[in-house]
Amino acid sequence: MVPKSSSTRLPRARSKPLVSEKAERFTESVIRDMTRQAHLYGAINLAQGFPDFPAPAEIKRAAQQAIAADVNQYAITWGAKSLRQAIATKMKKWQGLEIDPEAEITVCCGSTEAMIASLLAITNAGDDIVIFEPFYENYGPDAILSDARPRFVTLHPPAEPAGEWRFDEQELRAAFGPRTKAIILNTPNNPTGKVFTRAELEFIRGLCLEFGALAITDEIYEHILYDGARHISIATLDGMRERTITINGMSKTYSVTGWRVGWAVASPALTNAIRKVHDFLTVGAPAPLQEAGATALSLPDSYYQELAAAYRARRDRLLPALQQAGFKTFVPRGAYYIMTDISSFGFPDDVSFAQHLVKDIGIASVPGSSFYSHPQLGARQVRFAFCKTDATLDEAARRLLQVRGR
């Protein structure tokens, strides 16, 4: 006799949604997807913002030495002492801020984790988070994952290519209310290249104080500045030291985006909460790379001057190539992206244009819609990253000449 298969005795499976409502509410990162498409079509990757040139030799050596010296186990969960000390010293020197490395710094897996850990640490369900748009695409899903409600405020593009992106003070004020927990700032800004002025930051401070809101400021591009632009940390403004979470990291300043070392700096009370969330998210950032981070943050001032000058040269290489190809460009004052207006090409939207660029022209870019709350708002924009070698940028310029309108 053949025994009955055990499966016949299983109860009928009840059907339930497999994934959470939260996970349904956002898509995969378009930036990371464009990198995969660049691989697929053999295109030049001007989409995801990572350098295609080497990191500084002394930093790589420091990482190799740390591994050889067996710094291969967990660092302290909120960061290796040497790196926290180096962060505090650097912030004192550049921002004039006195930071206690024992109580006010949390080292995370990149500034990406620092941002989500901060939001998870401060928000309750239904809290409002004010976000300028266009925005770095992570902030939208970050708000959803932390059960917060994003309130988007427009950064209006300049009428002239060399003009500044600006927010309207009344529009910003209207986004604040009793439920506002925080505003997310990103200066220098991705994707617009805007560098927030002191007057703008003072206006934002006024709203933060009036509404009891925090500022979470992503300053990962702090050293990548052009045309005399000055980076100002909102934490340095009177009244903001205790209500600011300052986020930064090694990725952009030291050309090591794959190392995943970033940090959040905040008052002890905020840091306590951020550290707890961080501990259970990731335990810690890579220990040997944190040691190398201490070396990186101790580089002389000339390193930062050269970094900015090199990025300026790269910006000024790609800008004319885009203009010649027919793009309307917005000239960045900081960070390493050029936002463009693609209206003159006559494509139906940014996504179809970016598809044409990656498949037919061999250049990956990021469709503007991935920086906006509604695709329509970015349908005439495309972003290019210029953190690339001269050879890469020259080849991109050559290919851009093939772009034709529809």
Q: Which residues bind ligand GLN (CB under 6 A)?
A: 31-32, 48-49, 112, 136, 190, 385
Q: Are 77 and 278 in contact (CB under 8 A)?
A: yes
CB nearer ligand GLN, residue 32 or residue 93: 32
CB nearer ligand GLN, residue 31 or residue 325: 31
Q: What are the backbone dihedrals phi and psi of residue 133, each rounded to the nearest 5 degrees, phi first?
A: -125, 140
Q: Are 125 and 149 in contact (CB under 8 A)?
A: no
Instruction: Tell me which amino acid residue 163 is.
Output: G
Give the CA-trace dihedral at 298, 230, 152, 350, to 10 degrees.
Answer: -90
CB nearer ligand GLN, residue 27 or residue 124: 27
**What is the gyration radius of the CA atoms in the chain, in angstroms?**
22
The span from the CA of 219 to the CA of 15, in Å, is: 45
CB nearer ligand GLN, residue 224 or residue 385: 385
Q: Are 255 and 336 in contact (CB under 8 A)?
A: no
Smallest gap from Cβ 242 to ligand GLN, in A, equals 28
Distances (CA, A) of 383 to 47, 106, 135, 257, 339: 7, 31, 12, 19, 4
Smallest gap from Cβ 262 to ligand GLN, in A, equals 10
Smallest gap from Cβ 195 to ligand GLN, in A, equals 16
Question: Does residue 400 come out as left (phi exceeding 0), alpha (psi in the -120 to 50 range) or beta?
Answer: alpha
Nearest to 52 by CA among 40, 61, 43: 43
Q: Are 340 and 328 in contact (CB under 8 A)?
A: yes
CB nearer ligand GLN, residue 271 or residue 365: 365
Q: Name every residue whose Cβ is closer than 8 Å to that of residue 211 and which is 6 or more positions away in sequence.
A: 176, 177, 178, 180
Smallest gap from Cβ 221 to ligand GLN, in A, equals 9
Q: What are the backbone dihedrals phi and psi of residue 103, each rounded to the nearest 5 degrees, phi first?
A: -130, -5
Smallest gap from Cβ 29 to ligand GLN, in A, equals 6
Nearest to 334 by CA among 206, 240, 218: 218
CB nearer ligand GLN, residue 196 or residue 384: 384
CA 257 to chain centre: 11
Smallest gap from Cβ 278 to ligand GLN, in A, equals 17
CB nearer ligand GLN, residue 50 or residue 94: 50
CB nearer ligand GLN, residue 204 or residue 385: 385
CB nearer ligand GLN, residue 48 or residue 154: 48
The span from the CA of 73 to the CA of 67, in Å, is: 10
Smallest gap from Cβ 50 to ligand GLN, in A, equals 7
Smallest gap from Cβ 252 to ligand GLN, in A, equals 8
Smallest gap from Cβ 98 to ligand GLN, in A, equals 29
Q: Which residue is nearest to ligand GLN (CB)?
A: 49
